[in-house]
């Protein structure tokens, strides 16, 4: 499975069906296509209309936080009720590149988190600090607590299900501990292989199997061996094999656990059969 794959990105125009064929041949049974702004959220749903075995998420990325006005947000939020939308996102905080001012990122994060609680669909969270810093992680944990995640609000909306996912995990080990304690799920990407991200190996071992996920973040974050120009969902197997190593599992057992975790975190009534 690939919990985070931007198949609606420009780089997939023209051959998305071949990319999906490659993913199926590699054994990928679930793919979640998250939006990052209004248009890409609409396009995620359009892709699920074409390929019913995919799932969509709608939301606004911190990079685009300053570019979505209230009317556009209302349009996006209305799409969240669609049964093919299994999560809200991606949203979060990026204090590394700061393409949108921090105040806009916080306002954007708050309304995405509120929509997750309102719909009972988990929030997909991007969280990045500049090298050697942890201010985004600290701010995100504070915002989650303020919104009631890990407390009564998320318990009422989600029960025992994870109310949010830390996508493309990055950060110190105690950040993993904090989000796992709040009941969140954690998704590992090709970022784990980069210098400076060594803490991810230890973070992986803290996450309960039922909340441990993997992703490509295609077309970005190619793991070793994948084409640098365009990552694709089939390369999730490289990251999954690495995760299996970290937790001392064999890849096949982990693969089964990952699909079970995906279905627990992103339940979808009438999920289309994958065709085996
Ligand atoms: Zn992404």
Contact yes or no for 53/86 (Cβ under 8 A): no
Mean pLDDT of 14-35: 97
- Please give the helix or strand (H or E) that residue 94 lies within, else none: strand 85-94
Rounded to 5°, angle at Cα 244 from 216 and 229: 25
Spacing, Cα 218 to ligand 1 middle (Å): 8
Percentage of residues in the chain having pLDDT higher than 90 = 96
Per-residue pLDDT band for 193 (boundaries 50, 70, 90) equals: very high
CA distance 162 to 3: 14
Spacing, Cα 151 to ligand 1 middle (Å): 27
Domain covering 10-265 in this structure, CATH number: 3.20.20.140
- Quick: pLDDT tens for 53-85: 999 999 999 999 999 999 999 999 999 999 999
Mean pLDDT of 89-116: 97
Q: What is the 3-state secondary structure (H, E, C) of 182-240?
A: CCCEEEECHHHHCCCCCHHHHHHHHCCHHHEEECCCECCCCCCCCCCCCCCHHHHHHHH
pLDDT for position 261? 97
pLDDT for position 275? 42
Percentage of residues in the chain having pLDDT higher than 70 = 98
Spacing, Cα 57 to ligand 1 middle (Å): 11
The whole-model pTM stands at: 0.96
pLDDT for position 273? 53
| Tokens at 24, concatenated | 């199926």
Spacing, Cα 51 to ligand 1 middle (Å): 20
Spacing, Cα 182 to ligand 1 middle (Å): 22
Is residue 12's pLDDT more than 80? yes
Closest CA to 144 of 101, 175, 103, 119: 175
pLDDT for position 272? 60
Mean pLDDT of 175-188: 98
Spacing, Cα 274 to ligand 1 middle (Å): 23
| Residues whose CB is less than 8 angstroms from the CB of residue 50 and which lie 6 or more positions away in sequence, other chains included | none
pLDDT for position 269? 78
For the chain, what is the radius of gyration of the CA atoms? Answer: 17
First to last CA, the chain: 13
Mean pLDDT of 182-209: 96
- Give 191 or 269, the one with higher predicted confidence: 191
- Quick: pLDDT tens for 158-171: 999 999 999 999 99
Spacing, Cα 148 to ligand 1 middle (Å): 24
Domain boundaries, the chain: 10-265
pLDDT for position 276? 38
């Amino acid at each position: 499975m690939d919990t985070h794959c931007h198949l609606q990105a420009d780089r997939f125009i023209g051959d998305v069906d071949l990319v999906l064929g490659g993913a199926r041949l590699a054994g990928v049974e679930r793919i979640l296509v998250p939006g990052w702004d209004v248009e890409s959220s609409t396009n995620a749903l359009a892709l699920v209309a074409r390929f019913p075995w995919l799932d969509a998420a709608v939301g606004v990325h911190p990079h685009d936080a300053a570019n979505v006005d209230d009317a556009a947000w209302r349009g996006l939020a209305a799409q969240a009720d669609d049964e093919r939308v299994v999560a809200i996102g991606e949203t979060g905080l990026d204090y590394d590149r700061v393409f949108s001012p921090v105040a806009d990122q916080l306002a954007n994060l708050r309304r995405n988190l509120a929509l997750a609680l309102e719909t009972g669909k988990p929030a997909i969270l991007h969280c990045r600090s500049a090298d050697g810093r942890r201010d985004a992680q600290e701010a995100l944990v504070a915002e989650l607590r303020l919104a009631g995640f890990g407390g009564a609000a998320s318990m009422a909306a989600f029960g025992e299900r994870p109310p949010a996912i830390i996508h493309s995990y990055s950060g110190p080990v105690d950040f993993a501990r904090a989000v796992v304690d709040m009941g969140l799920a954690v998704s590992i990407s090709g970022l784990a292989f980069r210098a400076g991200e060594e803490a991810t190996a230890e973070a992986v071992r803290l996450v309960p199997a039922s909340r441990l996920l993997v992703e490509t973040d295609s077309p970005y974050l190619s793991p070793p061996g994948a084409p640098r120009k365009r990552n694709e969902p089939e390369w999730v197997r490289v990251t999954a094999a690495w995760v299996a190593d970290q937790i001392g599992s064999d890849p096949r057992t982990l693969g089964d656990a990952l699909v079970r975790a995906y279905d627990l975190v992103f339940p979808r009534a009438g999920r289309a059969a994958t065709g085996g």
